[in-house]
Structure 1
Amino acid sequence: MAAPVDNTREGNLEAPTRHPLGWEAPEFWDHAALEAEEERVFDICHGCRRCVSLCHAFPTLFDLVDASETLEVDGVAKADFPKVSDQCYLCDLCYQIKCPYTPPHPWNVDFPHLMLRAKAVAFREHGAPLSARILASTREVGRLASIPVVAQTVNAANRNPTARKLLEKALDVDAEARVPAYHRPSARKRLKALDGAGTPQAAGRTRGKVAIFTTCYCDHSDPGVVEDLATVLAHNAIPTRLVERESCCGMPRLELGDLDSVRRLKAFNIPVLADMVREGWDLTAAVPSCVLMFKQELPLMFPDDEDVALVRARFFDPFEYLFERHRAGLLNTDFKVPLGKVAWQVACHQRVQKIGPKTREVLQLVPGTEILTLERCSGHDGTYGVKHKTYALSRKLARPVEKLVANAQPEHFTSDCPMAGGHIAHGLGDHPAAEHPLSLLRKAYGI
């Protein structure tokens, strides 16, 4: 019997409250307990169906229910439950903007954490295909593919249809999917001379000097975005440097359910970042997923770690940081170049940071600029948008955004997530091509 729908959300007028993941408790890994919780939550979701349009996880669940003999969750074989978690890419939108039953509601529904638990249990019990583990090794792949000669060879192969068919067979990367190009030198090598010199001026929550976490993607595949970020910060008289050393933030491993690797990466990154925070540095990164990892995912995995909490408090989305400066009258608004109409796709992992549309609010400061806000998922979401078995679904999820962009005929199309932006632009034949908002802001400054 489906759970009754409680649209009044009685006793739950507060904002959603996230409980720690609890992954170090033995019961987290108990397979029978997991299936019992899946059945409980799936029953609530079946009675509501509010999230049916968000991603393919919910249609998968509801199709299983509707095809069962009982037309209820109890008629769905538990062996089919992984079909639901396989379609969840942990965007968190169902938790943050859709679900009426999140804590403090007594039903205590946290669908993303349940799907993460299912992925983690499956990974611990069965591991993951070699192809999935390679795709999740973003830092290692980036370093290897950025070696001189190797970079040119990899990029040429990625443009070759025959090589792409072989890649599809070997690594499950769809032959039609857009894959990143690799560049040398990396962002860290290009910007190694940044010394953070200058006098910081505090404003609001910001302390006025920033260390940039380059991210695996930007370091090796989009170093220009990190250069744009550093240039914009310098133009606003904000002392800037790179994080002393870094590894992957851990998001690709989290999405795989490989929580032990997330712990390993946390043990590498957090001490470095925490020491820099103690030295007075604020932190930022140009990829929303990496920012979210330090703002939310690691704190929920390690709620009692003081260094994790310290890093969380000082990690900012770039436009969140710039708008905080603007509130205090310290943002340089001497813009030279109007941007015209800009179609801005709001990245899911930026939406769930609960900071508001700070990218739009900053870009709207540029005279002669109109921002069209597109709050629809790109369908890319890490490796989901490149894997052969999910690529067609990712294109379907991206299609509404592509239509909105095409109909708007903007001068610029942008997304704070470079992978999401590239995925949508690919569906549009790069008319228009994707540009990062930081690149547009630099263009507006004329620098």
Structure 2
Amino acid sequence: MSNREGNLEAPTRHPLDWKNPAFYDEELCLHEMERIFDICHGCRRCVSLCQSFPTLFDLVDEGPTGELDGVNKQDFWKVVDQCYLCDLCYLTKCPYVPPHAWNLDFPHTMLRAKAIKFRKGEVGGGEKFLASTDVHGQFAGIPIVVQAVNAVNKTSLARKALDSALGVHPEAWMPELAGWRFRWGAARSPAQVVTHGERTPGKVAIFSTCYINYNEPGIGHDLLKVLAHNAIPYVIVEKEKCCGMPKLELGDLDSVEQHKEANIPVLAKYAAEGYALLSAIPSCTLMFKQELPLMFPGEAAVQQVQEAMWDPFEYLVARHKDGLLKLDFRNALGKVSYHIPCHGRVQKIGRKTEEMFKLIGQTVEVKLNTVERCSGHAGTYGVKTPYHPVAMKIGKPVFKAMAKDDPDHIASDCALAGHHIAQGMAQAGTPARDLQHPLSLVRLAYGIE
């Protein structure tokens, strides 16, 4: 096979050499970007994935030579700023990733550039605050304060202030703070016999995540109800910090390490005791399954957590294959438009949520419309003032596809993507639809109150 023909083997991911001083050498990084961008320019297979690639190709096409040598290297940073590290180019599109000889790793090169930018002090305070989910989440659950903050944030004056201070687009959807945190109100697991399956441990430890703990605890409670209905004992992880994904997206790798030092010892203890670790936010699950193992490849505890971490639907479907999942569904779901988020796709687990919906459909009515494409939200990218209009543009095909057949429910494993899709559908003139997390729809199908 020639280099030009690409690679047909499964992608191989190399560890991130971020402790090496050369990693932060800007000149070396620009040289690697030049090498990679020249390959991307000649291929253009990823043009529809995100705004990074159209930005790059426009720089080339509008330059004096029509080739990469006509692009000012300082303009490479425009490409970096558009990358939200979804990894889809690496895992689903690019034919030149390792083990191909060209060793092209676009997202890790963008992450390296972001880390250099962060270390140079070129990331603003607003972006840092948005990525500090443990900080602004501390207001959740405080009586009066929550109601006041949520009410004020809906006013045009407050949204203008957020735009000015934090760079949050006035029209972007923003999550509300919860009146009662998930970790405060999570029900205890009923006493049950631990039943091990061939594929699955018989007990679960829940990593609640910042979003579920501070913003939408109902998703977490629905997960607990589904587990309890299936006689799966669970505990809530004793203590936790943010998984570190928002910091990773900024290039703040030192903070990622600090979060890792807080979380991994706790989670490794549960893994050693035979618990399956579940996280209901795909980005958080991916952090423990992929990003931390790539950043800390030599640490046994990180690998132990990686092996024990499950997406909730990955776990439930595996329990079904073990013959241990209850199929006593009572309520029809009707027409469901379901969106597969990017950070779910790159976990390499297949379409497990879709499989669960199809299991439900064997007992009660479910007409499923699955949409597998980036919604455009991408963590904090979709709320930032310069990028929100781009995020809405990226999401347009998804908004249209999700409206197919006039669904009764719309759903995404990524709660943020779900709200972004709902907003895009509304702006496109599609009547409002019932937005539910897939876990909430499973609870509904079971008939659990």
TM-score, normalised by the number of residues in structure 1: 0.96
- The residue type paired with residue 133 of structure 2 is T
SS in 2 for 1:410: coil
1:118 maps to which residue? Answer: 113
Could you tell me how far apart the structure 2 residues matched to 1:152 and 1:72 are? 55
1:197 CA drift (Å): 3.7
Q: CA RMSD in A?
A: 1.3
User: Does the C-alpha gap of structure 1 residues 195 and 235 become closer, same or farther in structure 2, counting only changes over 3 Å?
Assistant: closer
1:240 maps to which residue? Answer: 234
Gaps of 5+ in 2: none
Matches within 5 A, 1:2-41: 8-9=5-6, 12-41=7-36
Corresponding residue to 2:322 among 319, 325, 328:
328
Question: Is 1:398 matched with 2:387?
Answer: no
Contact 2:140 2:180 in 1 (8 A): no
Matches within 5 A, 1:257-406: 257-366=251-360, 367-406=364-403
2:418 maps to which residue? Answer: 421
Question: Is 1:87 matched with 2:92?
Answer: no
2:167 maps to which residue? Answer: 172
SS in 1 for 2:359: coil
SS in 2 for 1:20: coil
1:6 CA drift (Å): 5.0
- The residue type paired with residue 8 of structure 1 is E
SS in 2 for 1:377: coil
1:441 CA drift (Å): 0.2
- The residue type paired with residue 324 of structure 1 is A
Corresponding residue to 1:210 among 204, 209, 221:
204
Contact 1:196 1:209 in 2 (8 A): no
After superposition, the C-alpha distances for 1:80-104 in whole angstroms (9 at most, x for unaligned) are 1110010000011001100000100
User: Does the C-alpha gap of structure 1 residues 308 and 197 become closer, same or farther in structure 2, counting only changes over 3 Å?
Assistant: farther
After superposition, the C-alpha distances for 1:30-89 in whole angstroms (9 at most, x for unaligned) are 111101100000000000000000000000000011111111111111111110010000
After superposition, the C-alpha distances for 1:278-322 in whole angstroms (9 at most, x for unaligned) are 112110111000000000000000000100000000000000000
Q: How many residues were matched structurally? A: 440
Could you tell me how far apart the structure 2 residues matched to 1:60 and 1:127 are? 21
Identity of aligned residues (%): 55
SS in 2 for 1:353: coil
1:144 CA drift (Å): 2.3
Corresponding residue to 2:68 among 45, 70, 73:
73
1:127 CA drift (Å): 4.2
Corresponding residue to 1:49 among 44, 48, 55:
44
2:220 maps to which residue? Answer: 226
SS in 2 for 1:408: coil
Contact 2:408 2:434 in 1 (8 A): no
Could you tell me how far apart the structure 2 residues matched to 1:444 and 1:119 are? 43
After superposition, the C-alpha distances for 1:140-163 in whole angstroms (9 at most, x for unaligned) are 111124422221111001211121
2:157 maps to which residue? Answer: 162
1:126 CA drift (Å): 2.1
Could you tell me how far apart the structure 1 residues matched to 2:283 and 2:198 are? 24
Could you tell me how far apart the structure 2 residues matched to 1:315 and 1:267 are? 17
Could you tell me how far apart the structure 1 residues matched to 2:221 and 2:128 are? 30
1:406 CA drift (Å): 2.0
Contact 1:173 1:386 in 2 (8 A): yes
SS in 1 for 2:168: coil
- The residue type paired with residue 375 of structure 1 is E
1:445 maps to which residue? Answer: 446
SS in 2 for 1:163: helix
After superposition, the C-alpha distances for 1:224-256 in whole angstroms (9 at most, x for unaligned) are 000000110111110011011000000000000
Contact 2:183 2:236 in 1 (8 A): yes
Gaps of 5+ in 1: none
